[in-house]
Structure 1
Amino acid sequence: MQFHHVATTADAAVFVDHVSPGDVVLIKASRAERFELLADDIKARWIHRSGVEQ
């Protein structure tokens, strides 16, 4: 198991480049930081990268 910490939302958004099929990604932050938008961005990048359509 590996853990990664990123300091900015920009770093987190490009983190998807390091995610492999079968990996689990947990995004932990407060709603005040609007991380649900980051989660949506990561999901969209992963779908685009994997070629899978929703």
Structure 2
Amino acid sequence: MAFSDETKDRVNAAIGIAKSVITVGWIPLIIYIGYKSSNPQPSLIKLITPLA
């Protein structure tokens, strides 16, 4: 089953967007998982800024 050039371009664009989303969202996801599983949970202001 051969894809047309337009379909290949759309798939490549979707993969590029997915890579960007994963790259940008990886660290916040890890921080969120750590925040939700910690006991006791720190306040959000202390999580965001270390000077609070």
Tell me, yes or no, whether TM beats 0.5.
no
More contact order relative to length (CA 8 Å, sep ≥ 6): 1
**Which has the higher Rg, Structure 1 or Structure 2?**
2
Normalization by structure 2: what TM-score?
A: 0.36
Normalization by structure 1: what TM-score?
A: 0.35
